[in-house]
Structure 1
Amino acid sequence: MHYKVILRILGLLLMIFSITMLPPLAISYGYHDGTHMAFISGFTITLLTGFIIWSPVYRVREDLRTRDGFLITVLFWVVLGLFGAIPFMLSKDPGLSFVDAVFESLSGLTTTGATVMTGIDVLPESILFYRQQLQWLGGMGIIVLAVAILPMLGIGGMQLYRAETPGPVKDSKLTPRITETAKALWYIYLSLTIACALGYWIAGMTPFDAIGHSFSTVAIGGFSTHDASIGYFDSPLIEGVCTFFMVISAINFGLHFFAWRQRTFSHYFQDPEFKFYLIILFSIISLSAVVLTLTETYAPVESIRKAIFEVVSIATTTGFATADFAQWPVMLPFLLFVAAFAGGCAGSTGGGMKVIRVLLILKQGHREIKRLIHPNAVIPVKLGREPISDRILEAVWGFFSVYLIVFILMLIILLGTGLDQVTAWSAVGATLNNLGPGLGEVETHYGDLNSTAKWVLTFAMLLGRLEVFTLLVLFTPSFWKR
């Protein structure tokens, strides 16, 4: 383990992160909302800490190994969450406790969207902007941004990229060089954010709300500048813009890259994961609209409108709301919540287990049924026309098994803290899948939970954002052996 180069990178990344506190500082001065000292303090503490860590080892030049990449990735998300909490604690409004501030900070950075705060409408504008900005930075992962910068400082970034990127196939790159890959991803991400903000503005949002909501929409985050979320605007046009960009942002960014590079959209419909993703959304939307209509929860047209928005929001793990889906009739709340376990596509900003893993599990299950009938047959699992190696299938099943075990363990811990079954089950699912809203006591916010539960759920957010293995590998003795 190259601890000196790890410290050097960590210090650099902290100094880079300190710069992100300057935009909300400028907004604080612009709106005269009285929170400027919280951001000045946050900027100063983060910058100085990064400099103190970096300065003794700034001359170190060593190549990163895979284990170094895992440790840096986990360390940085933990440290980022801690330093990102500073403005929430030092600002008089909201003036959060340490556990609440870390919870809110990591919820933003992991694009979970779970909040401990109420009265969001009356928060200072700078705090509102800061929450949205945290989600935007976390959307593609600030590590991916860093690998575009660190090579210029003499540090390779492929190990960081492999540790950070979501999905079962982590070695694929859009361009031959990792720096170009990171830049390509961020150009696409930035372009979608600008287009989304313009769409919101044209649809009727104020510039402040449009920019803020574009941050959390493209990041599949779900934070809003209003307690009522997107329902605050009560606008079909705004909901349409939001739905479109949620769907787009939960698609593999590799497909967006090739659409931009080749000027074609045909490859989307040749991708098995994308087609399965659309099938999931269309099926659940159709069923939800029928149930809402038959139960007379809403009028027929309103049922379709609510079903489209809520299903897309929950299934992509965004977490925006125009209705309280937890109060919908019969099996719909459970159905929508379970859809979040599949989440977005691999290589997207969405959470969950990723659509491609669910698809591969189903295909593997189908193959096992065929093997019962034809025990001597060689039956490959294919995505489109391409056979999938057994190594990838084993990794998918391993991920699913560990995901389930972690879920059960955290559920038992939360039940031990005194939460009811519905609240505990949905809180773990909502944070592990980076969804945000849950059922029971966490329908709207997590502020009433005990501190132990909040720390457990904070850990769940990290597990979900880093896809379980990246974090759990640090707890194995073999990882630390030379």
Structure 2
Amino acid sequence: MRLPLIGAIVGVYALLFGLTLLAPIAVGLWYGEPQWRHFLWPMLGSIGLGALLWLGGRHQARTLGVADGYLVVALFWILLSLLGAWPLHLGFGLAPVDALFESTSGVTTTGATVISGLDTLPRALLFYRQQLQWFGGMGLIVLGLAVMPLLGIGGMQLYRAEAPGPLKEEKLTPRLTQTARTLWALYLGLTLACALAYWLAGMTPFDALCHSLSTVSTGGFSTHDASIGYFASPAVETVAVCFMLLAAINFAVHYAAWSSREPMRYLRDAETRAFLALVFGCVLLIGVVLRLEGGYEGLDESLRDALFEVVSVVTSTGFGTVDFAHWPDFLPILLIYISFIGGCGGSTAGGIKVLRVLLMVKQGLLEIRQQIHPHALLPLRLGGRSVDPRLARSVWGFFALYLTTFALLTLLMIHAGLAPLDAFSAVATSLNNLGPGLGEVATSFATVSDLGKLIAVGAMLLGRLEVLTILVILSPAFWRR
């Protein structure tokens, strides 16, 4: 294990994070807010720490091993959460645990919060929260991969350790550097288009920019306590729904469709079809139940609220126009359930990912057929292609670890003082990087104990890194390499 090189790479990312703080400083100066000073020391501290770490390991070997990649990614996300908490502690006056919770929620694009009174806060601080989610959505790791060749460092192990979804080897282009730049170009393009659409829908330029950052990252932070409901605008909701769906689709599919100018590529992708079918089915079911039991006067109104909340939850964004925790019958629990599925692999959404769920369903159905025809050779197929049995086994292994982690964290959250249903919801919304929950955590984690918030911080990091990266680091075998 190359610890000096690991430190140097983490230093590069700390330096990059420090440079990003120039943006909220610029916002504060633009609006004449003195709070821009709260970002000055964190910026200098992050740049200084990054420079020291880089100087200490810059002469080491330039190639990362598998174990090195996992350790760099885990250390970076922990360090990013800590550095991100610094301005929140200074600017918002949050207690250290609350600042860490808010920072981790931002960089992991969870969207859970301990802050109220957003409508009266300085714009520089509001923009900073949104910026945390935007950089966390695509990941500063991927951004750093675009500059790694300039430093002479191989980054494939970092890509494998951070890439969401089961297909860790998937690249858009043959060269990893070009893949990272393409991903960020797509991400930036979607963000700018989203900001323009929000502005045309009636938002102020500031709100449009801020909400585009948290929409395309599927983060869910807002500049208003009432979230998207503050605008009470069908046009704004339509923009949000469209871009939440786009952000939750595999960016490799976006690249294939946009580079070939063939929109039908979306429908030819099995995972995208399954994702859109899931959304359509849930919207129809929830809209009908709301019309019958929720006090809605017409099906159009119930379908409108159902569409927004289903898309917001399944993409793990967490925006709100209504409080779904008070919906009738089984609807609140159903929404928490679909948050476990999440969006597509290779997107900014959280959850287990549609591709994994689709493979597990297909394999389950295949097992039933195998019991009926025990001597038949029945290969697992997806999109007309056979699936490598090793991939299928890895998906089931991931699912087992995910549910075991969820169960253990729920027990710990109950120990931290939450009622069982509230604990279930708090862990689900943290591990799935969703944001809103049920009961005590329906709108905020402010009343949760410090221990509960720290458990949620761990769950958010586990969810963002898809459990395995953190569990690999915690394994004794990892340190015996």
Q: What TM-score range do you get, normalising by the shorter chain? A: over 0.9
Q: Which amino acid aligns with 2:162?
A: E
The one-letter amino acid of 2:139's match is: G
Q: Do residues 96 (structure 1) and 123 (structure 2) align?
A: no
* Paired AA for residue 18 in structure 1: G
Alpha-carbon distance between aligned partners in 2 of 1:442 and 1:411, rounded to the nearest angstrom: 14
1:165-314 → structure 2 map (5 Å cutoff): 165-300=163-298, 301-314=300-313
How far has the Cα of 1:26 moved from its partner?
A: 1.3
The answer as to 2:13 corresponding to 1:27 is no
Residues 122-137 of structure 1 aligned to structure 2 (within 5 Å): 122-137=120-135
Task: Give the letter aligned to residue 266 of structure 1.
Answer: M
Query: Contact conserved, 1:61 with 1:154, CA < 8 A, in 2?
Result: no
- TM-superposed CA distance for 1:61, in Å, is 3.2
Question: Is 1:413 matched up with 2:412?
Answer: yes
Query: What are structure 1's unaligned runs of at least 5 residues?
Result: none
Secondary structure of the corresponding residue to residue 143 of structure 1 = helix
AA aligned to 1:190 is L
> 96, 107, 111: which one pairs with 2:109?
111
**SS class of match (1:204):** coil
One-letter amino acid of the structure 1 residue matched with residue 309 of structure 2: E
Contact preservation (8 Å) 1:293, 1:303 = yes
Separation in structure 2 between the aligned mates of residue 433 and residue 284 of structure 1, nearest angstrom: 18
Answer yes or no: is the 8 Å Cα contact 2:62–2:154 preserved in 1: no
Does 2:357 align with 1:365?
no
Q: Output the CA distance in 1 between the equivalents of 2:51 and 2:122.
A: 30
1:289 positional shift: 0.8
Q: Distance in 2 between matches of 1:244 and 1:167?
A: 22
Deviates more, 1:435-444 or 1:47-56: 47-56
SS state at 1:346 partner: coil
- How far 1:298 sits from its partner (Å)? 1.9
How many Å apart are 1:56 and its aligned residue? 2.4
**CA–CA separation in structure 2 for the residues paired with 1:372 and 1:163:** 37
Cα deviation, 1:383-409, whole Å, max 9, x if unaligned, reads 011111110011000000000100010
Question: Where do 5+ consecutive residues of structure 2 fail to align?
Answer: none
Report what 2:438 is aligned to: 439
CA shift at 1:438, angstroms?
0.4
Q: Which residue of 1 aligns with 2:66?
A: 66
Cα distance per residue 1:61-102 (max 9 Å; x no partner): 3211111110000000000110111101112xx210111111
Indicate if the aligned counterparts of 2:194 and 2:243 stay in contact, CA closer than 8 A. Answer: yes
Instruction: Say whether residues 1:76 and 2:72 are aligned partners.
Output: no
Give CA deviations for 1:327-383 in whole Å, capped at 9, x if unaligned.
011011111111110000000000000001111111111011111111111111110
User: Is the aligned partner of 1:51 residue 2:30?
Assistant: no
Match of 1:139 among 115, 137, 140: 137
Q: Once the 2 structures are TM-superposed, how far is the Cα of residue 35 of structure 1 from its aligned partner?
A: 1.2
Deviation at 1:297, TM superposition (A): 2.3
Distance 1:56 1:387 in 2: 48
8 A contact 2:130–2:214 mirrored in 1: yes
Which whole-Å CA distance do the structure 2 matches of 1:405 and 1:57 have between them? Answer: 38
Q: Distance in 1 between matches of 2:264 and 2:311?
A: 23
- Residue type at the aligned position of 2:416: T
Q: Per the alignment, in what secondary structure is the counterpart of residue 378 of structure 1?
A: coil
Cα deviation for residue 239 of structure 1 reads 0.3
Instruction: For residue 35 of structure 1, give the secondary structure of its aligned residue in structure 2.
Output: helix
- CA displacement at 1:31 relative to structure 2: 1.9
1: distance between equivalents of 2:303 and 2:265?
29
Alpha-carbon distance in structure 2 between the residues aligned to 1:298 and 1:185: 42
Partner AA of 1:432 in structure 2:
L
Deviations 1:272-309 (A, max 9, x none): 11111011000000011111111252222211111111
Q: Alignment partner of 1:85: what SS?
A: helix
Q: In structure 1, what is the equivalent of residue 383 of structure 2?
A: 384
- The separation in 1 between residues aligned to 2:290 and 2:56, in whole angstroms, is 62
> Conserved in 1, the CA contact under 8 Å of 2:195 and 2:209?
yes
Q: Distance in 2 between matches of 1:324 and 1:375?
A: 49
Q: Contact 1:297/1:303 (CA < 8 Å) preserved in 2?
A: no
State the percentage of identical aligned residues.
51
User: Alignment partner of 2:111: what SS?
Assistant: coil
Q: Give the aligned residue type for 1:23.
A: A
Report the Cα distance in structure 1 between the residues aligned to 2:192 and 2:366, rounded to whole angstroms.
Answer: 44
| Root-mean-square deviation (Å) | 0.9
Which whole-Å CA distance do the structure 2 matches of 1:172 and 1:39 have between them? 37
Following TM superposition, by how much is the alpha carbon of 1:59 offset from its aligned partner in structure 2, in angstroms? Answer: 2.4
Q: Give the conservation status (yes or no) of the 8 Å contact 1:288–1:332.
A: yes
Of residues 209-218 and 49-58 in structure 1, the stretch that sits farther from structure 2 once superposed is: 49-58
Q: CA contact under 8 A between 2:294 and 2:328: conserved in structure 1?
A: no
For this pair of structures, how many residues does the alignment match? 480
1:58, distance to aligned residue in structure 2 (A): 2.0
4+ aligned runs moved over 3 Å, structure 1 = none
2:293 counterpart letter in structure 1? T
Q: In 2, distance between residues paired with 1:75 and 1:299?
A: 52
Assess if the C-alpha contact under 8 Å between 2:305 and 2:322 holds in 1: yes
Alignment partner, residue 317 of structure 1: 316
Give the aligned residue type for 1:110.
T
Deviations 1:190-233 (A, max 9, x none): 00000000000000000000000000000000000000000000
List per-residue Cα deviations over 1:224-277 (Å, max 9, x = no partner). 000000000000000000000001110000000111211111221111111110
Q: TM-score scaled to structure 2, two decimals?
A: 0.99
